[in-house]
Structure 1
Amino acid sequence: MQIQVNTPDGAGGEDLTARVEQAVVEAVARFSEQITRIEVHLSDANAEKGGEDKRCMIEARPTGRAPVAITHQAATVPMALRGGLNKLTRKLDSVLAARTDHKGAASVRDNDPGQ
């Protein structure tokens, strides 16, 4: 699984990139075999104005499925990232769980020897 972190003009440097990559790996560990790439875009939504203006947009590319994207805004970058990763894991759980699970059990399609 590839992880790409994008910030405006490289803000935060390698330290921020490493922390974001580590947070992503921990958050999506159970989906790692089903995802080929994750892109994280961190930005300041309204520059000098105050408020909840740090934006985290995350796009995950599951194998054999359309990309999944979420956006989360918060007061700080860590809060935006944490909220974005929570949204992403919930979304991936609903999108990818249908592949193998049906009401907590393995899918009948996966166990069918005739296919």
Structure 2
Amino acid sequence: MKVQINTDNHVQHDESLTRHVESSVAAALDRFGDQITRIEVHIRDRNGGKAGSDDKHCMMEARLEGLPPMTASEHADSVAAAVSGAARKLQRVLDHALGKLAH
């Protein structure tokens, strides 16, 4: 499963961010690994350089073979919390969608 990370100009895209995103995605979505071709992660700071609560936003999009993309997003006080929350939500979206296909 390929993970592609996109950030805006106000989020520092460094090695620690990459590690956190990849570990959050792996923890939440590894069991779907054979069905997911790519995960796109979009992270942005809604307030730019200014401080604020729930101003970090993460949207994850899972690309699955033969299905339309599935998405989940999370707003949080930190980038790490937004990424972790979006990964958990995407796990629930995939559980629901792929569970329906199995029945």
Three-state SS of the structure 2 residue aligned to 1:33 is: coil
Q: How does 1:37-48 map to 2 (within 5 A)?
A: 37-47=38-48, 48=50
Partner residue of 1:58 out of 36, 60, 65: 60
User: What is the CA–CA distance in structure 1 between the aligned matches of 2:28 and 2:65, rounded to whole Å?
Assistant: 18
**What residue number does 2:2 align with?**
2
**What residue number does 1:31 align with?**
32
Partner residue of 1:82 out of 75, 81, 84: 84
Q: Is the 8 A contact 1:6 1:42 kept in 2?
A: yes
- TM-score for both structures, normalised by structure 2: 0.88
User: What is the CA–CA distance in structure 1 between the aligned matches of 2:3 and 2:68, rounded to whole Å?
Assistant: 17
Greater share of helix: 1
Q: What's the CA shift for 1:49?
A: 4.6
Matched residue type, 1:69: T
4+ aligned runs moved over 6 Å, structure 1 = none
- TM-score for both structures, normalised by structure 1: 0.80
User: What is the CA–CA distance in structure 2 between the aligned matches of 1:22 and 1:79, rounded to whole Å?
Assistant: 13
Three-state SS of the structure 1 residue aligned to 2:60 is: strand
Q: Which has the larger radius of gyration?
A: 1
Q: Which has the higher contact order (CA 8 A, sep 6+)?
A: 2
Aligned-residue RMSD, C-alpha: 1.5
Q: What's the CA shift for 1:5?
A: 1.1
User: What is the CA–CA distance in structure 2 between the aligned matches of 1:22 and 1:60, rounded to whole Å?
Assistant: 16
User: What is the CA–CA distance in structure 2 between the aligned matches of 1:84 and 1:19, rounded to whole Å?
Assistant: 12
Matched residue type, 2:36: I
Deviation by residue 1:32-57 (Cα, 9 ceiling, x = unmatched): 11110001111101221512100001
